[in-house]
């Protein structure tokens, strides 16, 4: 009995520590189409914070990001949860991040789920923090005579969960939906797309680098197997965390920062862009 209690106590302590560290995952990704002026630029990818804080005023998270000396910070959605009505903590975090380098924010299902009044308040918060919101929008970054495009898509609510809150027979997302939302790809493009489930459509559109989250690393990660569960209540999701190659695209799926997780610590992703 005492041994079992000790094991349980150790697991609880491990779980608390595991859910509150900030693990830096680094990737150097090579692209034939990357303009030489952008080779060596560093991107921080953050996703699925869900209002969680790391230290007072998120100081541990901010310090960890700043230490990587990024050129751009890209937020892939669900930085808050749908039931959040106070955005002071988020605004403080975004203001601190935007002092490091330019920050771009795309929406996840929790932001999309918010009532319009609350969503308007969130968008105003993002704007006050000097962060660029990409709500089915694109932004051009220029260096000299070259440029890259950063695009952010907001999927349909029914891509995540039906209006009756069930998860069966969800709405699909195809190339035509993406083209209708943000037009055609222009030059080297980084696409912020919260849900990696529709990676094929993103790749068909021509995105060079796709940044996603949503799956929370599969919540529980099992040795030699990977992520166990997706938010859509599906076992062993195809894209749970890490780097995947699909046709001419590379997909980076962050395991995220917030929510319950087991053997699956919060993650800050740092990507260095390398020209071939």
CB 153 within 8 A of CB 191: yes
The domain in which residue 162 lies consists of 2-275
For the chain, what's the residue count?
A: 276
Domain CATH number, residue 35:
3.60.21.10
- Low-confidence winner among 1-15, 33-47, 71-85, 162-176 (lowest mean pLDDT): 1-15
Q: How many domains does the chain have?
A: 1
Q: What rounded mean pLDDT belongs to the chain?
A: 92
pLDDT digits (tens, 9 = 90+) for 181-229: 999 999 999 999 999 999 999 999 999 999 999 999 999 998 888 998 9
pLDDT score of 5: 56
Q: Quick one: tokens of 134?
A: 């990409």
pLDDT digits (tens, 9 = 90+) for 251-262: 999 999 998 888
Average pLDDT over every residue of 15-26 = 76
φ and ψ at residue 48, rounded to 5 degrees: 55, 50
137: three-class secondary structure by DSSP = strand
Q: Is the pLDDT of residue 140 over 70?
A: yes
CB 35 within 8 A of CB 149: no
pTM, rounded to two decimals: 0.94
């Amino acid at each position: 009995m005492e041994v079992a209690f000790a094991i349980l106590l150790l697991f609880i302590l491990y779980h608390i520590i595991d859910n509150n560290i900030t693990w830096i995952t680094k990737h150097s990704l090579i692209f034939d189409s990357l303009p030489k002026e952008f080779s060596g630029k560093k991107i921080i990818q953050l996703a699925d914070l869900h209002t969680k804080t790391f230290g007072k005023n998120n100081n541990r998270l901010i310090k960890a990001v700043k230490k990587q000396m990024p050129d751009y910070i890209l937020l892939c959605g669900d930085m808050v949860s749908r039931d959040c009505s106070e955005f002071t903590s988020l605004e403080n975090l975004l203001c601190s991040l935007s002092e490091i380098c330019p920050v771009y924010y795309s929406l996840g299902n929790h932001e999309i789920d918010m009532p319009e009044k609350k969503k308007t308040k969130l968008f105003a918060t993002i704007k006050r923090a000097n962060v660029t919101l990409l709500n089915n929008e694109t932004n051009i970054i220029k260096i000299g005579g070259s440029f890259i495009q950063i695009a952010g898509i907001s999927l349909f609510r029914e891509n995540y969960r039906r209006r009756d809150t069930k998860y069966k027979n969800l709405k699909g997302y195809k190339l035509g939906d993406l083209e209708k939302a943000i037009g055609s790809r222009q030059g080297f493009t980084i696409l912020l797309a919260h849900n990696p489930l529709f990676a094929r459509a993103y790749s068909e559109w021509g995105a060079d680098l796709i940044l996603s989250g949503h799956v929370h690393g599969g919540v529980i990660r099992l040795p030699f197997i990977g992520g166990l569960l997706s938010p859509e209540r599906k076992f062993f999701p195809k894209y749970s965390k890490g780097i995947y190659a699909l046709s001419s695209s590379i997909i980076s799926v962050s395991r995220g920062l917030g929510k319950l997780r087991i053997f699956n610590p919060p993650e800050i992703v740092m990507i260095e862009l390398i020209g071939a």
